[in-house]
Structure 1
């Protein structure tokens, strides 16, 4: 283990030991409000997609296979929309599928619930297969109150799932050997946000004492619906804010067109305090943002935010108007929780850094200040061959909110806000 890896491993161990999880969680901690998307993920290991790669007759299947091989060869994950209505049935019949909870809000809630934090999710689709995926102690609005998911009676018909194709560095996909582990999210339909009136009602009641709010899922709307859905989502954000909720985070995600993304960002002004995204999503917005500081600061100023963060494979960074020490804790908590999930294959109840994880030098300065903004960055524990890459961005978001939803900052490794 080299010196930087040893130093950062020690810092992450200290951070993880102090996280408010499990028996250390505050008994009176506020609930995390998690909306507005939900789905079932159909997980497929790309080592097992022979029938898709070998297909010669079905044009849509051939095109899907070619697109995914290009992405694997280039180490690209991300999300794509595919026009093939029969695709889910075709894949389901031919490939081995494992089912899991999907959507940023439910994924974050799953992570937080495993760590002992109370969570409320938006859920309009309450059919049996969906409820089966939700942890029993996650809360759902019903009749004006919050009830445990285990106590909700299933209703409605099954919705089409989202397909997640996972690939691992060094494991061949046909004649392509990927150099990077990732996953490709394939949507064959636009489900849209969860129009859950109970969540809206109950979350407004809980907002004055809630820990933090999370909004997401607008990327799952057809482009013609994005503006209307955004207005509804951000009206809720403004209601939370008026009730006194201090941390309201929008996880941006990827959009089919730049216009859809710009509409979401513009309509979010005044409704959220924080925006987050992956580095690839930031580059889609600003191709010059290989070094992210200027892009994060510009977005924060334009939308009058308190915080803008970005996560990559080997680092995370944020521009914040808040306490930079607390922000460093938030970034490290997000990275630690995501890395623990990558090693375990699912959300964890105890956060530990895998001994095989390494820490790379960041390609930019880790701290600087500009006016009332601080730029903070840290390396992330990185595994060359993770057990999963599914849900890591959502886990990072949950970890950040776990720290940001607490009032008092807790310094890490002597950081005083002047240097790292």
Structure 2
């Protein structure tokens, strides 16, 4: 029996015993239709020329950033209220989605029937349908509530993240020059004064502890925009992690940080209080100050960076890395009854199901991924990585994905459903 069939059988045995506390942030994602006519009018009115900007404070900043980013690729920017309102009133919304690793992971877990408790920070009425799973509960005032009851009892907290997706060949013109996208990509534009402060409900941590969560997901800190706020929030989270028993696997994950040296501060403060620290392969390179372009598929470089990451931040158990071709675990053995190889395979399947079906997969949808071919690059890389003591599982890549949003969050959900 192969690693993927093993993972499916293992999941079936343990799924009913798993209870994942998924935090720490949430928001409404608004998928925005690219409209060249509207955006070109903005360029004509406001542009001064292409600029690489992460903090968009005016319409001029927005269009200059778009001129720079179309040829260069996607990014995430913070925007002001003026820009947010202009986008809302001028561009059509294609659909709504759930944002935030914790909230997205809880949705994925709900879709394939694993119990979860989610810590919501920003939310709107769209969540009534988007988070409506029988196995998903929202923490509120000492209780775990169905999402619709939670929304009835709590006023809306609006902090939209606009996801502006552009197709290959999308183009804008400025001063007789054309700026064209070589591949399809997305730009995330966040007007978020809530998650930039990251409000934490201390009762959520106590509830997870008291009700024996099998895993506690820590994520969403990367959007904090003030250095002193980041330092204080990390110390607050570190205190809240005290007192969890060994039955709760603390999983500390991150995305791209707004602040310089955010990765270092984050893992230095929380790494030793976590069982597992996790990121993507691209983030691993950035954390170690190495250009991803220098990688060239060299698995020995990957092994060196994993070892450095592990020994710099000292998680109690180990490090998880997810990438397009292979997922990896490096570190100490997990406790008996927690199968890390099956967890990696399950993470791969849940991520690929999201890519293939453009939705969080049911168990049948997730399990169907096992029949797809392994990544050829991942198979080759796995052999070398395993010789270096790394547990590795080649992914099941989707050749023509229907969705590229939330794949890392879906991987996290799959992994935590098995550990």
CA displacement 1:57-100 (0-9 Å, x = unmatched): 135445434534644534x4453334x33121111112221211
Report the counterpart of residue 64 of structure 1 in structure 2: 62
* 2:4–2:346 Cα contact (<8 Å) kept: no
- Is the aligned partner of 1:294 residue 2:294? no
Aligned mates of 1:229, 1:368 — CA distance in 2: 37
Report the counterpart of residue 233 of structure 1 in structure 2: 237
Q: 1:156 to 1:134 in 2, by over 3 A?
A: same
Report the counterpart of residue 92 of structure 1 in structure 2: 88
- Pairwise mapping of residues 30-69 of structure 1 onto structure 2 (< 5 A)? 30-46=18-34, 48=35, 50-55=37-42, 56-59=44-47, 60-61=58-59, 63-68=61-66
Q: Determine which of 91, 95, 99 is the counterpart of 1:102.
A: 99
- Pairwise mapping of residues 311-350 of structure 1 onto structure 2 (< 5 A)? 311-322=322-333, 326-349=339-362, 350=364
Q: Structure 1 regions of 5+ residues with no counterpart?
A: 1-9, 405-420
CA displacement 1:25-77 (0-9 Å, x = unmatched): 644x131011111111111244x454224422135445434534644534x44
Q: 1:51 to 1:250 in 2, by over 3 A?
A: same
Q: Determine which of 162, 186, 200 is the counterpart of 1:195.
A: 200
Aligned mates of 1:274, 1:310 — CA distance in 2: 10
- Pairwise mapping of residues 15-414 of structure 1 onto structure 2 (< 5 A)? 15=6, 17-18=8-9, 20=11, 26-27=15-16, 29-46=17-34, 48=35, 50-55=37-42, 56-59=44-47, 60-61=58-59, 63-68=61-66, 70-74=68-72, 76-82=73-79, 84-97=80-93, 98-125=95-122, 127-137=124-134, 138-152=136-150, 153-167=152-166, 171-174=168-171, 176-179=180-183, 182-192=185-195, 193-206=198-211, 209-224=212-227, 225-240=229-244, 243-286=245-288, 287=290, 290=295, 291-305=301-315, 306-322=317-333, 326-349=339-362, 350=364, 351=366, 352-353=368-369, 359-362=375-378, 364=381, 365-368=383-386, 374-404=389-419
Q: 1:44 to 1:292 in 2, by over 3 A?
A: farther
- Quote the RMSD (CA, aligned, Å): 2.9
How far does residue 337 in structure 1 lie from its aligned partner after superposition? 0.8
Q: 1:354 to 1:326 in 2, by over 3 A?
A: closer
Q: Secondary structure at 1:238's aligned position in 2?
A: coil
Aligned mates of 1:167, 1:356 — CA distance in 2: 28
TM-score (norm 1): 0.80
Report the counterpart of residue 175 of structure 2 in structure 1: none
Q: Structure 2 regions of 5+ residues with no counterpart?
A: 48-57, 172-178, 296-300
* 1:35–1:216 Cα contact (<8 Å) kept: yes
How far does residue 262 in structure 1 lie from its aligned partner after superposition? 1.7
How far does residue 344 in structure 1 lie from its aligned partner after superposition? 0.5
Q: 1:12 to 1:344 in 2, by over 3 A?
A: farther
Q: Secondary structure at 1:235's aligned position in 2?
A: helix
* 1:123–1:196 Cα contact (<8 Å) kept: no
Between Structure 1 and Structure 2, the one with more helix by share is: 2
Aligned mates of 1:378, 1:321 — CA distance in 2: 17
